[in-house]
Structure 1
Amino acid sequence: MDFCLRDFSRMNPPTFYGSKVDEEPQEFIDEVYKILHAMGVSSSEKVELATYQLKDVDQTLYVQWRDKRSLRGGPVTWEIIKATFLDRLFYRDMRKEKVTKFINLHQGGKSVHEYYLEFIKMSKYAPSMVSDPTDQMNHFFMGMSEDLQME
């Protein structure tokens, strides 16, 4: 595990405190997972390495959750940590706000490329709306400037 921790730390993973207003729980999960996936570590190593990046309030919440968790619940996997982390820190109101922002996303004064990049970034908050390529294309098209829709 020391070998993995050293390699993981060299990849500059994000840290999550749980006490900073501008922290994005989903961004933390996505970035950490990207590193862990590239490293090819096991599920249990993913849990250990990801939770190592939790600090301050979030570290306390994790330790409390871990200590209360029944041993009969089986091993803690990446999927369990991910779901628990997002449920506890990515509050329902925050999620709804992100989904609403995605639904209301329009090109406005942005270039098509800028709009596309924001569309892709925000689409992760509403995966059911873009899981089908046709739905994704329709939603993207509906947010484009009316001038471009007419062409």
Structure 2
Amino acid sequence: MEKAFMLVVVSEEKKVDYVSYFLKDEANYWWESTHALEEEEVITWCRFKKIFLDKYFWRNMQTQMELKFFELKQEGMTVGEYEKKFTELARFVGDYMDTDEKRVKRFQQGLKPWLRSRVAAFELATYAEVVQKAMVIEGESDQNLKEKESEK
């Protein structure tokens, strides 16, 4: 829904109305009873998200996803696969990844050591630059290995 709200301009006051319209079955029943019990007459979008996530996205699951993110290493993945997993898990750690600088630092930390040292030498400032440079270096390394094998 956040993605849809970026595409279509929806005022903060209307977001809860739009989202609640799309709730079905059990989620709709939950919302009707929760809304009736809420003390605030108008429930803000921020409040709605909190109570919705408390109901459908349990804290232990949030903690597990955070741990997966902080333990994430490239290891047997390509840079592209690692970046995809990194992006998937980064959404669960909010404040930890709220700047490009933090994303760069954490992404580089998870790269394979030989790749991390080469990327770090460039002192790149943006996440996009780090990912791109890591992919280029990895691609060149793979190409060099193939050439050496064909020479043998």
Normalized against structure 2, the TM-score is what? Answer: 0.69
Equivalent AA in structure 2 for residue 101 of structure 1? K
| 5+ long unaligned stretches in structure 1 | 1-31
Q: Once the 2 structures are TM-superposed, how far is the Cα of residue 147 of structure 1 from its aligned partner?
A: 2.5
Does residue 68 of structure 2 align to residue 94 of structure 1? no
CA distance in 2, matches of 1:37, 1:149: 35
Does residue 8 of structure 2 align to residue 39 of structure 1? yes
Q: Counterpart of 1:122 in 2: which secondary structure?
A: helix
Normalized against structure 1, the TM-score is what? Answer: 0.70
Q: Once the 2 structures are TM-superposed, how far is the Cα of residue 125 of structure 1 from its aligned partner?
A: 0.7
| 2:49 paired residue among 70, 76, 82 | 82
Equivalent AA in structure 1 for residue 45 of structure 2? W
CA distance in 1, matches of 2:46, 2:8: 17
Q: How many residues align?
A: 118
Q: Counterpart of 1:110 in 2: which secondary structure?
A: coil
Identity of aligned residues (%): 25
Distance change in 2, residues 1:98/1:68 (3 Å): same
CA distance in 2, matches of 1:102, 1:67: 37
Equivalent AA in structure 1 for residue 106 of structure 2? H
After superposition, residues 129-144 of structure 1 pair within 5 angstroms as: 129-144=96-111
| 5+ long unaligned stretches in structure 2 | 119-152
Does residue 106 of structure 2 align to residue 119 of structure 1? no
Larger radius of gyration: 2
RMSD: 1.7
Runs of 4+ in 1 over 4 A off after TM superposition: none
- Give 1:49's aligned residue: 18
Q: Which has the higher contact order (CA 8 A, sep 6+)?
A: 1
